[in-house]
C-alpha cells in the first residue's frame, strides 16, 4: 500500500512539473517572440502598449520582460520537480518489479 501512495505522489509530481515547465517555457518564448514582432508591427506595438498601461507597467518592454522572466522562473522551478518525480517513479517501478521477481 505504501508503494502505491509513493507512486501516486510521483505521478502527480510528474504531471505538475511537466505542466509548470511547459507553461513557463511557453510564456518565456511567447513574450520573447512578441517583443521581436512588436518592433516591426505598429498595430501590435500599440496593443501591447495599451495593455501595459492598463496593467500599470511603465512601458511595454518592461511588461514583456517581466512576463518573460516569470516564465523562465516557472520553467526553472518545474524542471527539477519533473526530474525528481520521474526518477522516483522509475525507482518505485523498479522496486516493485524486483519485489515481484523475488516472491
| Helices vs. strands in the chain: H and E counts, helices first | 3, 0
CB 89 within 8 A of CB 7: yes
d(CA 69, CA 73): 6
Higher pLDDT, 4 or 59: 59
pLDDT tens string 15-64: 999 999 999 999 999 999 999 999 999 999 999 999 999 999 999 999 99
Position 4 pLDDT exceeds 90: no
What is the DSSP track for 41-78? -HHHHHHHHHHHHHHT-S-HHHHHHHHHHHHHHHHHHH
d(CA 28, CA 77): 13
pTM for the model stands at 0.80
Position 67 pLDDT exceeds 80: yes
CB 96 within 8 A of CB 102: no
Amino acid at each position: 500500500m505504501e508503494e502505491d501512495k509513493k507512486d501516486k505522489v510521483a505521478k502527480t509530481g510528474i504531471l505538475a512539473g511537466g505542466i509548470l515547465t511547459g507553461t513557463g517555457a511557453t510564456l518565456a518564448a511567447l513574450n520573447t517572440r512578441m517583443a521581436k514582432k512588436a518592433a516591426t508591427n505598429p498595430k501590435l506595438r500599440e496593443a501591447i502598449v495599451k495593455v501595459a498601461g492598463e496593467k500599470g507597467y511603465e512601458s511595454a518592454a518592461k511588461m514583456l520582460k517581466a512576463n518573460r522572466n516569470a516564465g523562465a522562473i516557472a520553467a526553472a522551478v518545474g524542471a527539477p520537480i519533473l526530474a525528481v518525480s520521474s526518477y522516483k517513479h522509475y525507482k518505485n517501478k523498479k522496486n516493485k518489479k524486483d519485489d515481484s521477481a523475488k516472491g
